[in-house]
Structure 1
Amino acid sequence: MTVRATWNGVVIAESDDTVVVEGNHYFPASAVRADFLRPSQTHTFCPWKGTASYYSIEVDGTENRDAAWYYPAPKEAAAAITDHVAFWRGVTVTED
């Protein structure tokens, strides 16, 4: 099964090897189009995963602020999402 993350008409990530946690597909960083990601200063904390960092997505001059997140140093319970990125805020994730 291939999973794709699409926003503003562009495929941002595509992989047949995502990790699903709490209903979210985490894509390997190597499967994400880094040219559309912009670092963000936003951080949040999850008690069992650790501290998340965010990226904004920019496509054709339009920004989707903090629409991707990742855990740079996840806690041991979430080790499977090391070097993985997930999406929300209007990014469509489909499976086929």
Structure 2
Amino acid sequence: MVARPLLEAAHTMPSLNFVYRGCTVDIQIGERATLWDVTIEVTPFDGVELIEPFGARKLKLAKVEELDVIQAALIEEVQLAIDHRLVGC
């Protein structure tokens, strides 16, 4: 019998989905004992031009803040990033 380390399982939390300036935003937050696992996807609608495409971003954040604080900060940062990447802004 071989002993294997147990992987810390992430519990998926509800996702944040919204539309901002012609882009759909999907933020998934998973919870681990000491970390927040965050995946952010931004998809522009047809006809919306971004200077640089986003692609999916994955973050691991230390659990030093409560979930509602993390969610508010992520929403604000994504909105700022979209504002900076829109053509013509």
Q: TM over 0.5: same fold?
A: no
Give 1 or 2 for the bigger CA radius of gyration: 2
Structure number with higher strand proportion: 1
* TM-score bucket of the superposed structures, by smaller chain: 0.3 to 0.5
**TM-score, length-scaled by structure 2:** 0.35
**TM-score, length-scaled by structure 1:** 0.33
Structure number with higher helix proportion: 2
